[in-house]
């Protein structure tokens, strides 16, 4: 187990980037995500053949973020994944979970991440934001089962997300 507290190395963001770079599958259950803060690079996502994101809430109103890199660079990899069919997004509606969690890979080679997910290089919150990475196959399998239960109760939101990503891209370009 690795505990991320926002102060040590590697950071959760660094670990997540490396984990995605090695994973063929990724499943994320994230209660709230700010598109303006997404910073996943093409080289981290190139090997991911199937990525599913279950959202509790999408904060599309905060697309402009002066401290972030240009939106077109941040969103290009995700839009490419969506266009290729490798990305699926569902909204959870009334389904709830706590804390956020994700599964990178499956079974023996998989990793369970739970706690505060950071998709940006700098610390996005003031104070303490903790998360854990666990590589225990039983924990990975159990989290995968729970993700499937949540996923089945969600509804497709890919079009809304890609529309918001395209808007953030044009804001960054404009």
- pLDDT, mean of residues 32-58: 85
pLDDT of residue 24: 95
pLDDT of residue 2: 95
Question: How many domains would you assign to the chain?
Answer: 1
Helix (H, G, I), strand (E, B) or coil at 38: coil
Contact (CB, 8 A) for 53 and 145: no
pLDDT of residue 63: 42
Q: What is the DSSP letter of 116?
A: -
Q: What is the pLDDT of residues 95-115, one digit of tens each?
A: 899 999 999 997 678 999 999
**pLDDT range class, residue 41, cuts 50, 70, 90:** confident
pLDDT at 145 over 90: yes
Half-sphere exposure of 70 (CA within 13 A, CB side): 7
Tell me the percentage of the chain whose pLDDT exceeds 90: 52
For residue 92, the tally of other CB atoms under 10 A from its CB is 20
Which residue range(s) make up the domain with 153?
2-173
Can you give the CATH number for the domain in which 169 is found?
3.30.870.10
Q: Which residues contact 84 (CB under 8 A, 6 or more apart)?
A: none
- pLDDT, mean of residues 35-50: 84
pLDDT of residue 124: 53
What's the rounded Cα separation, in Å, for the pair 107 and 85? 24
Burial class (CB in 10 A: 0-12, 13-18, 19+), 143: buried
Please name the helix (run of DSSP H) or strand (run of DSSP E) that holds residue 18, with its range, or none.
Answer: helix 12-22
pLDDT of residue 119: 79
- pLDDT, mean of residues 34-50: 84
Q: Which residues contact 42 (CB under 8 A, 6 or more apart)?
A: 76, 77, 80
């Amino acid at each position: 187990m690795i505990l991320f507290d926002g102060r040590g190395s590697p950071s959760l963001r660094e670990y997540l980037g490396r984990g995605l770079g090695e994973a063929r599958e990724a499943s994320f259950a994230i209660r709230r995500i700010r598109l303006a803060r997404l910073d996943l690079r093409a080289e981290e996502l190139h090997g991911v053949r199937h990525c599913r994101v279950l959202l509790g809430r999408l904060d599309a109103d905060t697309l402009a973020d002066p401290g972030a890199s240009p939106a077109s660079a941040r969103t290009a990899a995700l839009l490419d994944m969506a266009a290729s069919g490798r990305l699926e997004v569902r909204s959870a509606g009334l389904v709830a979970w706590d804390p956020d969690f994700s599964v990178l890979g499956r079974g023996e080679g998989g990793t369970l991440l739970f706690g505060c997910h950071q998709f940006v290089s700098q610390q996005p919150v003031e104070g303490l934001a903790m998360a854990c990475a666990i590589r225990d196959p039983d924990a990975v399998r159990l989290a995968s089962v729970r993700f499937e239960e949540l996923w089945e109760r969600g509804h497709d939101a890919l079009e809304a997300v890609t529309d918001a990503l395209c808007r953030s891209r044009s804001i960054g370009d404009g």
